[in-house]
């Protein structure tokens, strides 16, 4: 029983404001934990590699390019560069710079392939001739079939 002179009060229910604040704090902690763990999980479990598509693509049509010009085309998930040289020869290379994966372009005034990111230069065979690119561009085989310009990935020897 009660001791003399002591009055017991009924337990007060938790105030709704306090529950709301606890909900906000708990939600904030949960959101913080997720924001730290998500990048870690994305790093540990990378997404599947994109399909590069086939080894053959139609890069353009005959007559589409003027002499000494180039054109970017899609080669699977990567860009390719189709060039019609001043001599009338078609050449195709990867349009991804080997330095920092920037997209390269053909400079008709220089007769070279130029990367605007760090001023890297390649010759028409894809060899790096100046700037920071460490490796040559990947070269592709070009065939004219009727009115289509077909580009094939070269097979390793």
| Per-domain residue ranges of the chain | 14-47, 56-153
If phi > 0 it is left, if psi is from -120 to 50 it is alpha, else beta; for residue 39 that is alpha
pLDDT at 82: 94
pLDDT tens, position by position, 92-122? 999 999 988 899 999 989 899 999 988 999 9
- Answer left, alpha or beta for residue 108, where phi above 0 means left and psi between -120 and 50 means alpha: alpha
Q: What is the pLDDT of residue 2?
A: 55
Residue 157 has pLDDT above 50, yes or no: no
Question: Distance between CA atoms of 102 and 132, rounded to whole angstroms?
Answer: 12
- d(CA 127, CA 147) in angstroms, rounded, equals 29
Q: What is the pLDDT of residue 154?
A: 79
Q: Which CATH number does 56-153 carry? A: 2.102.10.10
pTM exceeds 0.75: no
Burial pattern 18-30, b for ≥16 Cβ within 10 A else e, equals eeeeeeeeeeeee
Query: Does the pLDDT of residue 53 top 80, yes or no?
Result: no
pLDDT of residue 25: 92
At residue 44, the pLDDT reads 86
């Amino acid at each position: 029983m009660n001791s003399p002179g002591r009055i017991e009060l009924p337990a007060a229910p938790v105030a709704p404001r306090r529950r709301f604040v606890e909900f906000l704090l708990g939600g904030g902690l949960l959101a913080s934990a997720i924001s730290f763990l998500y990048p870690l999980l994305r790093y540990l479990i990378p997404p599947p590699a994109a399909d590069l598509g086939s080894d053959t693509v139609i890069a353009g049509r005959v007559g589409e390019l003027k002499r000494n010009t180039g054109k970017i085309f899609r080669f699977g998930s990567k860009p390719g560069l189709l060039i019609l040289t001043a001599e009338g020869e078609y050449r195709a290379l990867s349009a991804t710079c080997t330095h920092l994966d920037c997209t390269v372009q053909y400079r008709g005034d220089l007769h070279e392939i130029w990367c605007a990111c760090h001023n890297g230069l390649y010759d028409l065979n894809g060899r790096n001739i100046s700037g920071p690119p460490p490796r040559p561009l990947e070269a592709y085989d070009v065939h004219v079939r009727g009115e289509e310009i077909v580009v094939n990935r070269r097979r390793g020897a």
